[in-house]
Structure 1
Amino acid sequence: MESLRNLPLLDQLKDQSISTLVQTSLIALIGVLLLVKLVQRLRLNLPPGPLPLPIVGNWLQFKEGLNPRNLAELANKYGDVCMLQMGQRKVLVISSPEMAKEVLQTQGVEFGSRARNLVFDMTTGKGSDMVFADYGEHWRKMRRIATIPFFTNKVVQQSRRGWEEEVDLALNDIKEMPGSTTSGVMVNFRLQLMMYNIVYRMMFSRKFSGLHDPLYVKLMTLNLENNRLAQSFKYNYGDYVPSLKPFLKGYLKEVWETNQRRLSFLRDEFLNERKRQTGEKIGVDFFLEAAAKGEISETNVLYLIQNMNVAAIETTLWSSEWGIAELINNPQIQDKIRNELDRVLGKGVPVTEPDIANLPYLQAMVKEILRMHMVIPMLVPHMNLQATKLGKYDIPAGCRVLVNAWGIANNPKYWEKPEVFNPDRFLKEKIEPTGNDFRFIPFGSGRRSCPGSLIALPILGIVLGRIMQRFELLPPPGVDKVDLRSVGGQLSLVLASKPRVVLKPRQI
């Protein structure tokens, strides 16, 4: 009987023993993981970086996401080449022109692949597009097929009159908006339609009738939803710690379904419609011709169209928004641009693409926008498929490589007063955004540089130049300067609050 009365006590002791065993095992596991990391660091000469925690690594230190500013702070502490352990993923951060050149150009083959995440795998068909394709034969084909109809000087000359026409239509509409000359208007929505019409005319020889065109509304809805899901930092925990991926089941289902709806929409409303047409060869016909030859699939064609939606449209739009905001806050720069345009072209003569070469201050202003407000601030992430060396450091295979191009372009080590918006810096020193000067690489450099610079730069020059010719840009009543705070996503850095603009017509 006595032994029976002691059974609860025995059970309690047993539970305590099990609990102690579990705790001891966890401590031992953590100790083993730390030891493994230490041995790895001793065996390999890895770049410096903050000490990672077991399992989560440095993720909790950067749980709001990696952005150009916190990466610049990281470089100040650990150097121009440093490494983060984000869960199970290693992230290599590059923060100097010298190391950027090494990664993007000198060792461009070794670091030429793309680092995707679990959401970008879905939205690009695991690199079935051009932008996120791994370095190799598929990427070379996609790059060649996309370049011929869109990214050559011949195409620029064939398309520029269409660009200029769309810019004028947009500015005419903006002028007629209620409040444009008094309380101010939001111009970004009309500029967005302008950019879509420019690119969709090049791709499909089609344009949207206005902001309320049902086809445009549907396309914008799908693109905005896809961008919201892909740019979010919410899914990072499942990306960095794959064992947590099941908790993202609902989120990933939404990503998958949204992307499938967008692909179906592009196929049904644009691609199939173009197949039924005849006439002069246009942009997307080059994609379809390559698919007919068996070089790529129709799915690849759809992903190329999606690339154009972001790479050619959204990034140029975001740069235009930054440019308008800076011009509102810097009326003396507006005056300099107008004086140059009036002197070189004559008052009332609209700037065209060939004119831009003779307008150095307008060019300098566009470059300063791209330097100070780089919309893809860490470029599209690179990756090394094989283990390699970078300088004195060992770089394990599969590192996600972030080149902090914004950090380099805003570093006082390389730029005088980088926090000041000052186009004159580009008149004093000849620096082009072509990828040859690694202090200034808004379009990247080397094999994986963005070919879209060939149309983005002249379109920005035409848009901002014609705005300056027709209007004086002012902040809304009661406001001295517009808010220039930024907001970032997985890849982008955009104006957080779109400003209202008062457009005072010039007397010409």
Structure 2
Amino acid sequence: MDLLLLEKSLVALFVAIILAITISKLRGKKFKLPPGPIPVPVFGNWLQVGDDLNHRNLSDLAKKFGEILLLRMGQRNLVVISSPDLAKEVLHTQGVEFGSRTRNVVFDIFTGKGQDMVFTVYGEHWRKMRRIMTVPFFTNKVVQQYRFGWEAEMASVVEDVKNNPDAATTGIVLRKRLQRMMYNNMFRIMFDRRFDSDDDPLYIKLKALNGERSRLAQSFDYNYGDFIPILRPFLRGYLKICKEVKERRLQLFKDYFVDERKKLASTKSMTNEGLKCAIDHILDAQRKGEINEDNVLYIVENINVAAIETTLWSIEWGIAELVNHPEIQQKLRHELDTELGPGHQVTEPDTYKLPYLQAVVKETLRLRMAIPLLVPHMNLKEAKLGGYDVPAESKILVNAWWLANDPAKWKSPQEFRPERFLEEESHVEANGNDFRYLPFGVGRRSCPGIILALPILGISLGRLVQNFELLPPPGQSKIDTSEKGGQFSLHILKHSTIVAKPRSF
């Protein structure tokens, strides 16, 4: 059976080579394509640039080929944008033309071929999903309703760290406790639920399935089958695992959270005034026929992926940089003590009157951007960009990390220096008011989670610095900040052990 499959694949490969050469010649006369490495038939540039299309590798290619470049990865066209002006063109000026999402074989599985909000094409379904998700998740009213919960969760983290004897001596992996905090922050909003312990069986199962989903989706291991469809049969085992994980996750969301909330709603009247958490609003939209049950589950899937881990990565990066820069940590602590008074725990409203805390958050998001290539965009039809023709259904990668770390645009960008946002870059905000700095994107497909992420980051980093002196483990002068990148994610490679010595007030 394997020999027959191999024979068919080789025949298909030969036919594809002939077709690719013919199409290439025809297209060459029609299009003025962006520059890039010379492709070879069938494989394009895949053999030259490899699978690992991370932000740093794409930055190196941009230095060679320019601020707009084309990579032909098998049958897929990837257009890489590395300048603020072109980023503005893609995300704002031509936001409709480039407003769709490209998917791949794995994301098609996890999103039901775009039944969610994040990865659906630009159009009526996206507008409907965005509207339904905005009211219960992404408004100032939500922030004010749930910020007391975020503050309580962080207070619990502080208390648990103080009660852990290892924290002040050999150190602890703080990420583990912060992860439960982030799950509780978002599950309070979604389901009015929280997890009391790391040993909660449901929490363990949920965390494991989300982690496996992230590993499978972010891996570069399946690119060959995505780039070259005739090789897709060799992905059958990988895709089977993806389908199994997807089905188990959606079933868990349904059985333990969505259906439980439905039962609760059936016992009392759920008028608009009685809607208590986000899923109530979303289920109300389902009852009205605006969305179906699958859409409900994919909204839960999006929040589990996009809202929890990305914010957790940023908190973890912020802690690592503060540990490795004790002078910055001390300066932040001085601001907190001076402005709020020793022992007054920072709250969400306080974050707006703490400019250095805001600068630390901004600098963390600049240097260690959680989604350095943003979520990929796509043009459904042929388009013009930077004087070049962009073929229909091209994957558009905006290298937002490079925009924020280009030495031609920023002073000493390799340094972790929050002061830049109080001095030469004082006008720059995380909301995309400057196209050199787009940690949440900008325009129609920007990340609406900015309204939740910024205050949670401020509360988390602020309270840790207020209550502890954060240090590397004994015998180390710094902690390892090596990066681990995925299809478009960036997190710290090794979950750091941190010494947290309690302060006395």
Q: Do residues 483 (structure 1) and 475 (structure 2) align?
A: no
1:211-264 Cα deviation digits (max 9, x unpaired): 000110110111111111111111100000001111111111110111001000
CA drift at 1:493: 0.7
CA drift at 1:172: 1.1
Cα distance between partner residues in 2 of 1:343 and 1:310: 37
Give the equivalent residue in structure 2 for 1:268: 255
Give the equivalent residue in structure 1 for 2:42: 55
Give the equivalent residue in structure 2 for 1:420: 415
Inter-CA distance 29–322: structure 2 relative to 1 (3 Å threshold) = closer
Cα distance between partner residues in 1 of 2:161 and 2:111: 35
Q: Secondary structure of 1:277's partner?
A: helix
Give the equivalent residue in structure 1 for 2:220: 233
CA drift at 1:491: 1.8
Cα distance between partner residues in 1 of 2:329 and 2:409: 26
Query: Which of 337, 357, 362 is matched with 1:362 structurally?
Result: 357
Alignment of 1:316-331 (within 5 A): 316-331=311-326
Alignment: residue pair count: 485
Q: Secondary structure of 1:113's partner?
A: coil
Give the equivalent residue in structure 1 for 2:433: 436
Cα distance between partner residues in 1 of 2:178 and 2:399: 28
Inter-CA distance 29–170: structure 2 relative to 1 (3 Å threshold) = closer
8 Å Cα contact 2:51/2:223 also seen in 1: no
CA drift at 1:177: 2.1
Cα distance between partner residues in 2 of 1:95 and 1:123: 29
Query: Which of 133, 138, 148 is matched with 1:161 structurally?
Result: 148
In percent, how many aligned pairs have the same letter? 58
Q: Do residues 450 (structure 1) and 447 (structure 2) align?
A: yes
1:159-215 Cα deviation digits (max 9, x unpaired): 100000000101211222231111111010100000000110111111111100011
CA drift at 1:43: 2.2
Q: Secondary structure of 1:424's partner?
A: helix
Structure 2, unaligned runs of 5 or more: 1-9, 269-273
Inter-CA distance 485–474: structure 2 relative to 1 (3 Å threshold) = same
Q: Do residues 222 (structure 1) and 209 (structure 2) align?
A: yes
CA drift at 1:310: 1.6
Give the equivalent residue in structure 2 for 1:13: none
CA drift at 1:34: 4.2
Give the equivalent residue in structure 1 for 2:160: 173
1:344-384 Cα deviation digits (max 9, x unpaired): 11111011101111101000000000000001110000000
CA drift at 1:63: 2.2
CA drift at 1:391: 2.6
Q: Do residues 205 (structure 1) and 188 (structure 2) align?
A: no
CA drift at 1:30: 5.5
Give the equivalent residue in structure 1 for 2:88: 101
Structure 1, unaligned runs of 5 or more: 1-21
Query: Which of 489, 493, 498 is matched with 1:496 structurally?
Result: 493
Cα distance between partner residues in 2 of 1:36 and 1:396: 13
CA drift at 1:54: 0.9
Q: Do residues 352 (structure 1) and 347 (structure 2) align?
A: yes
Q: Secondary structure of 1:402's partner?
A: strand
Bigger Cα displacement from structure 2, 429-438 vs 448-457: 429-438
Alignment of 1:242-281 (within 5 A): 242-278=229-265, 280-281=274-275
Q: Secondary structure of 2:113's partner?
A: coil
Cα distance between partner residues in 2 of 1:141 and 1:319: 29
Q: Secondary structure of 2:444's partner?
A: helix
Alignment of 1:457-476 (within 5 A): 457-476=454-473
8 Å Cα contact 2:400/2:439 also seen in 1: yes
Query: Which of 105, 108, 112 is matched with 1:125 structurally?
Result: 112
Cα distance between partner residues in 2 of 1:357 and 1:456: 14
Larger Rg: 1
Cα distance between partner residues in 2 of 1:349 and 1:332: 22
Q: Do residues 85 (structure 1) and 82 (structure 2) align?
A: no
CA drift at 1:61: 2.1
Cα distance between partner residues in 2 of 1:378 and 1:32: 32
1:413-450 Cα deviation digits (max 9, x unpaired): 11111000000000012100111211000100100000
Inter-CA distance 182–135: structure 2 relative to 1 (3 Å threshold) = same
Q: Do residues 403 (structure 1) and 394 (structure 2) align?
A: no
Cα distance between partner residues in 1 of 2:21 and 2:295: 44
Q: Secondary structure of 2:305's partner?
A: helix
Cα distance between partner residues in 1 of 2:18 and 2:288: 57
8 Å Cα contact 2:16/2:42 also seen in 1: no
After TM superposition, the score normalised by the length of structure 1 is 0.93
Cα distance between partner residues in 1 of 2:475 and 2:346: 32
Q: CA RMSD in A?
A: 1.6
Cα distance between partner residues in 1 of 2:16 and 2:167: 65
Give the equivalent residue in structure 1 for 2:3: none
1:102-134 Cα deviation digits (max 9, x unpaired): 000000000000010010000001110010010
